């Protein structure tokens, strides 16, 4: 594990490992989204990408706020908060962008 590179505290190292594991699980989805970004950039569809990223950032921030409320309501510990943070980032923001980009490349627009 590379977690010791970031902190000498074992609690922090564990949280880093949890976050990196979740990130690794979502990397295929992120790779697809980045590939579609490349296709759309190559096609010169910059305006769409700017709008789509802005909309998904607003959606993500809304879900992030709801996640914070969830963490308070269930009195979540650090591990649960780390998991929810990384899952929401990847499922909502990266997943939303992947869906939007997939739909966009199917259009002639």
State the pLDDT at residue 84: 93
Q: Rounded to two decimals, what is the model's pTM?
A: 0.84
Checking if the pLDDT of 106 tops 90, the result is: no
pLDDT of residue 54: 97
User: How far is residue 62's CA from residue 68's CA, in Å, rounded to a whole number?
Assistant: 10
Alpha carbon distance 106, 36 (integer Å): 11
What tens digit of pLDDT does each residue of 47-104 get? 999 999 999 999 999 999 999 898 888 888 999 999 999 999 999 999 999 999 999 9
């Amino acid at each position: 594990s590379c977690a010791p590179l970031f902190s000498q505290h074992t609690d922090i190292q564990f949280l880093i490992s949890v976050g990196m594991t979740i990130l690794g699980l979502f990397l295929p989805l992120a790779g697809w989204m980045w590939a579609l970004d490349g296709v759309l950039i190559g096609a010169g569809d910059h305006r769409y990408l700017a709008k789509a990223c802005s909309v998904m950032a607003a959606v993500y921030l809304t879900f992030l706020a709801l996640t914070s409320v969830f963490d308070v309501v269930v009195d979540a510990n650090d591990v649960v908060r780390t998991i929810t943070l990384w899952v929401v980032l990847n499922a909502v923001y990266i997943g939303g962008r992947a869906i939007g980009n997939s739909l966009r490349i199917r259009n002639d627009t």
